[in-house]
Structure formats: structure tokens, C-alpha cells
Amino acid sequence: MKIAIEAQRIFRVDKHGMDMVILECLKQIQKLDYENQYYILVKAGADRCLEETENMHIVEINCPTYPLWEQFALPRAVAKIKPDLLHCTSNTAPLFCKVPLILTLHDVIFLEKRQSSSKSWYQEMGWYYRRFVVPHILKKCKMIITVSKFECKFIQELLNLPADRITFIYNGFNAYFKPIEANPEIIKKYIDTTDYFFFLGNTDPKKNAVRVLQAYSKYLKGSGKRRKLLIADLKESFIDQILVANHIEEIKPYLAFPGYVVNKDLIHLYNAAYLFLYPSLRESFGIPQLEAMACGTPIIAGNTSAMPEIAGKDAVLVDPTCVDEIANAMLRLENDQVWYHEKKRYGLERATLFSWQNTAKELLNLYKNLAL
């Protein structure tokens, strides 16, 4: 087969989640498949993180904006290649393309009711673009892939799709994440202790930063240890707004908020953390919870959407809207060492069920079946 795969943004330095998913899959496909011919359609960038092989060809397409790249430049490149399949990997695809289309639809948050507008003009235009394009292209897809059983059922019911046109393939996580002796010098760049709670936050309301800080305030009142909280990817000004609005300014000395965390440092931060907080309101998959579990760090995850499916029934699952539940889980993991080590062992075992190699194998099977 000749298979074209859209991976437009994998060469940019500042990669996002969807970019990393397809990049890791492509690296595994290079190891698994030497028969099919692959054409990886990308935009030129400074981080050339994927090299060509005999059957994997990189096709650079340059165009000033993402909509023009996807709607005009991409179909022209595909017409020249004449592949058997086109796989678009980041929620959207060309409106007009004669090649059989596979679409990876990570989630449909952009079709759900919004709590607020986007923080930038670029993000706002992207939101409108997806809302316009996706409903039109779904009718043309030979297959739609999403990333969990929960999301598959949710999308199918929301968009009234035939069951035989949508499936799910689980994401993996990088095997780089495993138990190690954390480097104290790396930890010092982010927090002044090697025994702390870790929260990967951002300004998206679904990440539940407000309730996490409220719960942490309750934890401090009930704890004898009073472990600090490391908060990644949130600015001090945003944290200050939450503290003032909720009258919990007194917890600020216990917080560390270094901003962006370099990806290669995450393994050290996970390993040094006492526990990892992931009580999101909604996740279509949730790779960070697997990364933490693979490092042997117990997690507190939300009991909604896809989180129980990925973390498993024996993970510490809480109602993410209940501040008391989150705080009580922190305190129990701190005070009940038998339970703590049970969750540590469980996480290590659970994480072995997921890998990018498994993801790539399922993707290859799908390509094969669709070409029959």
C-alpha cells in the first residue's frame, strides 16, 4: 500500500499533545513495517525529529496558514502521490479530497458548550475552524479513530455516527518513563524539596486548578507533614487570582510554580513526587497519569470521562467536583502507608498495558483491513 499520513506540525519546536502522539506512532511504524510505502506530509520546522527510511518518505509542504495548508496545499500533494489512504491525525482534514480518508478525532471539545472564549485570537480562530470543518468531513471519512472507549461512545452518540465507522485505539506513553533515582540538581530547578505533591495544570477549566488548590488548602490543615505542591505550567498571576478569589492566600508559601517544565525533566519530577494530582473534569485519554504511574508514583485521578478506563478501577479515583474527596485522598495516601504502596505497585503494573508499539500495531491492522 501507499499510505499518506498528515503530520503537519511534528517538526515545530513547541509540540503539542497531538503532535507527540503521531510522532511516537511513526517511530514505531518504522520499526514494525518494511513493506508499505509511507508519505509523511509535514510543514518544515527547526526540530527534524523524524528521519526518512527506505519506505517512509518525508514530504515538506509550505503554506502560510494552517487552513490554507490543509485545504489547498495538502490535497495538491496527495493528488501527486496518489496514495491508497490518507490519514489525517489532528481532528481536521481537507474538505475536498478524492482519496479514502481516515481521521483521528482526539476529542470533540470544540463542539461542546464553552465556558469562556479562547485566550488568543489564534486559538479563537482555530476553534471556529474546527467547528466548521469537522461536521462536513465526518460524512466523507472511511473510518474515524479516537483514543478511548469512552470518547468513542461519546462521539458516536453526539454526532449520530454509524458504529462501524468509528473505533478507538489507545494512546501509549514513552518507555522513557520508569522508576529511576531522581536527580536532585534537576529537582532544584523547580522546587526546593525532593518530597512534594505534583500537579500538571493549565488555564483550561477542565484541568480543575481551582478545586485542586482548594483541596490542597484543606490538606494542609489536616496534615502533619505539610508537603509542598509543585504546579507546572501555570503562571504566578493566574495562581494568585485563584488564591485571592478563594481566600486561601496563606497557602502560597507551600506552592512552587516554575512555569514550563522541560519534557526531559518530567521523569525526575514524577519520580521524586510523593503523589501526582490529576483530578480533571474531563479527559479523552490522559497520558500524564500513565507517565506518573510508570514511574511508580501513585495518582489521584478524576472518576469521570476516560480517566477510570485508563487508570483502572483500582486507582485512586475521586469526584473532581468534590474538594473534600480530593483532600481526603491526599491525606489517606500520606497517612496510610500500606494503601500508598498498594497504589504504587498497582500503577506500575497498570502502565504496562499501554505502549506506543501497541498503538502502532493497531493502527497498522486498521490500515490493512481498510485496504481489503
Domains of the chain from N-terminus onward: 2-172+355-371 (3.40.50.2000), 184-351 (3.40.50.2000)
Provide mean pLDDT across the span 170-184: 96
Query: What 8-state DSSP symbol labels residue 364?
Result: H
Which stretch of 122-131, 184-193, 227-236, 358-367 has the lowest confidence by average pLDDT?
Answer: 122-131
Question: Higher pLDDT residue, 110 or 62?
Answer: 62
Query: Is residue 299 predicted with pLDDT exceeding 90?
Result: yes
For residue 110, the model assigns a pLDDT of 81
Total-model pTM: 0.91
Residue 114 pLDDT class (50, 70, 90 cuts): low
Measure the CA–CA gap between 211 and 4, rounded to whole angstroms: 43
Contact 296, 347 (CB under 8 A): yes
pLDDT above 60: residue 184 = yes
- Range 215-227 average pLDDT: 97
C-alpha separations of 303 from 136, 293, 313, 320 in Å: 33, 16, 9, 7
pLDDT recorded at residue 321 = 97
Rounded to whole angstroms, how far apart are CA atoms 139 and 162? Answer: 10
- Return the pLDDT at 122: 67
**Would you state the pLDDT for residue 36?**
96
Give the span between the Cα atoms of 152 and 156, in whole angstroms: 6
Dig out the grid coordinates for 166 from the structure.
468509528
Q: What is the dihedral of CA 44, 46, 51, 57, to 10 degrees?
A: 0
**Grid cell listed for 291:** 507517565
DSSP class per residue in 204-224:
-GGG-HHHHHHHHHHHHHH-S
Find the helix or strand (DSSP H, E) in which 129 lies.
helix 121-138
pLDDT score of 116 more than 60 = no
- pLDDT at position 119 over 60: no
The C-alpha atoms of residue 371 and residue 365 are separated, in whole angstroms, by 10
Residue 127 has pLDDT above 80, yes or no: no
In 189-265, where does DSSP find H-type helix?
Answer: 209-222, 236-245
Q: What local confidence, expressed as pLDDT, does residue 120 receive?
A: 62
Does 298 score more than 70 pLDDT? Answer: yes
Query: pLDDT digit string (tens) for 55-98?
Result: 999 999 999 898 999 999 999 999 999 999 999 999 999 999 88
Q: What's the DSSP call for residue 33?
A: -
Q: Residue 121 pLDDT more than 90? A: no
Helix (H) or strand (E) holding 255: strand 255-259
